[in-house]
Chains A and B, each alone.
Chain A
Amino acid sequence: MSRMIGRRDFIKTSAGAGLALAMSKALAASTGAAKAKAPVIAVGVGDDYGKSAVRAVELLGGIKKFVRKGSKVALLPNVQSRHPGSFTKPEILRAVIRLCKKAGASEINCLSWQTVKQWEDTGLKAVIESEGAGLKIFERDEALFRPVPVPDGVALKEARVLAALYDHDALINMPITKDHAGNKFTGTMKNLMGLNSPVNNRTFHRPNWKTDPDDVAHLDQCIVDLNKAVKPALNIVDATEFIVSNGPFGPGQLFRPRRVVAGTDRVAVDAYCAALWALKPEEIVQIKRAAEQGLGQIDPNKAILKEEDVI
């Protein structure tokens, strides 16, 4: 679905593009030893979103770095709503399923406690079925979630993660980046709430500031803590066309940078995605705190950007 954006969005787009470009230059400028351990942010740019996803993964070294032959792979696309720009594009999911097959995965499943209707309405269920992957939808039954300790948890000492995840060898996290009314930004880290129990998620969103005025960042800290407990093998972000207002559900204003972004460093990937739409990563509390708490690299000078147009 391609849409025009309004004049103010164009301004926002330009500003975002400017920031991304500045970030790109900063990334390109980093050299030598700093680069040796620097996280890689791989980006495929173009109108064929499936090809862009494939290219982004190739730029990271190929799918076999992340999916071993015979392994069981769990996929986590965002299936929030069917409003345009609020869910992971089906063509990206299709490309990733095919990549996993190519790597020799023995089983590929999308895991979810969202409704079948959401998977149907977004077109993701049809892709899963046509590609021969599995869609495992679980009841919102707490018994189906496993308590998982959060190492160095600040707000959370324990997460409650869908137990079925642990029947798999690798998790590929597949969010769409977009606006969020609660904490301004959705990316790789926020998406993991899709594996956390709905009951526990509700506590993430609790307005703690009503009893503790200093706890305005409760949601952000919970997200960071959850990410300490669950580590995807790979993150592939839909940054092709997404809502920059009225998130996470929409409908909202659409922005179309035509990018699929891949990486293993969630902080670096989220920082890149935020900059795409003129957000300053250091002002996004979840990204800033995740960097401070050792989850990844927020400094663009200490990351490597590999970005290619896909024709």
Chain B
Amino acid sequence: MTAARHRGAAIALTVFLAAGAWAALAWSGQKTLESLLPADGAAPGWSRDGEPQAFAGEDLYVYINGGAEIYQEYGFRRVVIQDYRNAAGRSLSLEIFEMETPAAAFGMFTFKRSGQGKDVPIGSGAELEDYYLNFWKGRYLATLTGFDESAATVAGLIAVGGRVEAMIMDTADPPPLVASLPAEGLRPGSVRYLRGLLGLNNVYPFPSAHGLGFAAAVKGDYGEGLFLVVMDYGSDAARETAWDELRAALEGSDKFEKVRASASGSMLFRDSRGRYAAFAPSGARIVFGVSSDLTASLLLVAQSR
């Protein structure tokens, strides 16, 4: 091999490695999670207070003792926490969660928001409550907590949050499953995207996990006490197995009273609170609607099939 060929190979290797590094950086979207923390004064009037904390993977249990499981269910990678303070002594806390996927960040956002706060134009979705703000963008979820409800602190939440949002390069839309909820009558802010039984049981508790091994699910409200859940199993075959398991579990539970099953394959139960829960298969999905009104439950499920 000649010297020229050696040089050529070295150049090619260098170009290859540089391209790989660039691709890796572009793929990761951000250099470090800490790089998303606004510098002093980036949000006018607000400066960092103390050192940031960071936790990754299973160490989340150290930070959120007893409450980390829901983050893990959605898919958690890392979190960084930084306090900020203004000249008047007001303080707020910023938590930036890096989730495994944008769907996980969106899901955790929907889990944490109340749906009764104020929408603010930050990231791909944001909700401002009395003293805290949640928003998501790409695979990031940010929670900012004020330690008082003064106008200055609430303004600080938005200002600091806005700076974080500006530094996140990733963007993403909500998962396609969300669109399976019928738009008519859907209450804005009520959508919850779920990735497992822990999340589902916060929406509607089931006595067992039989038939509830869905890949993802989405819930939306259509009135006071009237809601619909669409559970996606990934394939018709998986759904068929889940349907049989779920039906058997509900029929065998003392918390559900079977009202009727229809020729179309749907089934109707009354739960321990006297609500009607209508279930129906739909391709790779199972949908169920719950309401104290029998007709409303059935109609909601029928609309979604």
Contact = CB atoms under 8 A, between A and B. Distances in A.
Contacts of B196: 207
B116 A6 contact: yes
Contact of B148 (A1, A248, A252): A1
A247 B67 contact: yes
Contacts of A250: 145
B209 A202 contact: no
A83 B112 CA distance: 14
B46 to A, nearest CB: 18
Q: How would you classify the secondary structure of chain B's contact residues: helix, strand, loop or mixed?
A: loop
A80 B65 contact: yes
A311 interface: no
A24 interface: no
Interface in A1-27: 1, 3-9
B202 A181 contact: yes
B197 A209 contact: yes
B258 interface: no
Contact of A248 (B67, B114, B208): B67
A8 B115 CA distance: 10
B143 interface: yes
Interface stretch (A61-69, A210-218, A266-274): A210-218
B201 A251 contact: no
Interface residues of B, number: 39
B145 A254 contact: no
B102 to A, nearest CB: 21
Given A209-B208, A247-B67, A253 B131 contact: no
A249 B69 CA distance: 12
Interface in B189-243: 196-198, 201-202, 205-210, 212
B66 A248 contact: yes
A3 B209 contact: no
Contacts of B201: 216
Contacts of B116: 6-9, 253
A71 interface: no
Nearest to A214: B208
A110 to B, nearest CB: 16
A262 interface: no
A7 B245 CA distance: 40
Interface string A156-194: 000000000000000000000000111010000010010
Interface in B61-87: 61-62, 64-67, 69-70, 73
A202 B62 CA distance: 11
B130 A254 contact: yes
A181 B67 contact: yes
A283 B274 CA distance: 13
B211 to A, nearest CB: 8
Interface in B105-159: 111-112, 114, 116-117, 129-132, 143, 145, 147-149
Interface string A71-106: 000000000111110000000000000000000000
12 contacts: A8-B114, A82-B93, A181-B202, A193-B66, A205-B66, A207-B197, A214-B210, A216-B197, A216-B201, A216-B206, A251-B129, A252-B114
Given A181-B202, A198-B61, A213-B210, 17 more contacts: A3-B131, A6-B116, A7-B116, A8-B114, A80-B67, A82-B147, A201-B65, A201-B66, A202-B61, A207-B69, A207-B196, A207-B198, A213-B209, A213-B245, A249-B66, A251-B131, A283-B272
List of 9 A-B pairs having minimum Cβ-Cβ separation, nearest first: A209-B209, A213-B209, A251-B132, A249-B67, A213-B210, A251-B145, A181-B70, A248-B67, A249-B64
